[in-house]
Amino acid sequence: MTELEAPIRALLGDRGLDLYDLELAGGTLHVTLTRAGGVDLDALTEASRAISVWLDAADPIPGHFTLDVSSPGLERHLRRAEHFASAVGELVTLRERREGEPTRRLEGVLVAADDSSATLEVDGEAVRVRLEGVERARTVFTWGSATTSKKG
């Protein structure tokens, strides 16, 4: 997917949008985009059309696929180091695979993140998790809470 990132980032940048995530899964190219202040339906529609035109012309993906362009929403998936870094200060939930031990589920405030790890405050204790062991992670939106998702 890295070969698609630069051209799609350029298309989005021309429209004041940022690429949050890009994933080809199950025959669908998922393009997730953000913008300071949020992304509205008109921006999603315009971005979808521009990406679709580029994909038709460049034909970078063999075979048939469906294009899905969306914003991350209130509860964003965290897959890459930069996703974790952008969520510092937010409530997150994750599932961690650990060799020789049961899968661990954690929920807490993300207090730090770097290229290889994330640290959550869980019940007043700092818990460091290696990103390569994270099976699934997302921000958690809590209605009426002081700790809520801040992007979308």
Give me the residue label for tokens 């990103």: 131
pLDDT at 142 > cutoff 90: no
Is residue 150 situated within a structural domain? no
Q: Are strands 66-70 and 125-130 parallel, antiparallel or unpaired?
A: unpaired
One domain for residues 45 and 25: yes
Domain boundary among 25, 48, 70: 70
Q: Return the residue matching tokens 């809590």.
A: 142
- Asked whether the predicted pLDDT for residue 149 surpasses 60, the reply is no
Mean pLDDT of 128-132: 96
What's the confidence (pLDDT) of residue 89? 95
3-state helix, strand, coil in the chain (%, to 5): 25, 40, 35
Instruction: Please tell me whether residues 104 and 125 are part of one structural domain.
Output: yes
| Confidence at residue 16, expressed as pLDDT on a 0 to 100 scale | 93
Note whether 110 and 90 are within 8 A (CB).
yes
pLDDT at residue 12 tops 90: yes
Residue 146 counted as domain residue: no
Query: Domains in the chain: how many in total?
Result: 2
- For residue 145, being part of any structural domain is answered with no
How far apart are the C-alpha atoms of 6 and 16, rounded to whole Å?
15
Of 50, 70, 90, which closes a domain? 70
What is the structure's pLDDT at 144? 74
CATH of the domain at 15: 3.30.300.70
Residue 149 lies in a domain: no
Q: Are residues 11 and 33 in the same domain?
A: yes
CATH number, residue 121: 2.30.30.100
CA distance 127 to 121: 6
Two tokens at 8?
């799609």
Structure-token match 């315009």, residue found: 46
Domain of residue 35, residue span: 2-70
Render pLDDT for 24-71 as a digit per residue (tens, 0 to 9). 999 999 999 999 888 999 999 999 999 999 999 998 888 889 999 999
Residue 98, domain member (yes or no): yes
Please identify, among 51, 70, 89, the residue that sits at the C-terminal boundary of a domain: 70
For tokens 């998702």, name the residue: 149
Q: Are the CB atoms for 75 and 140 separated by under 8 Å?
A: yes
pLDDT tens by residue, 65-108: 999 999 988 899 999 999 999 999 999 999 999 888 999 999 99
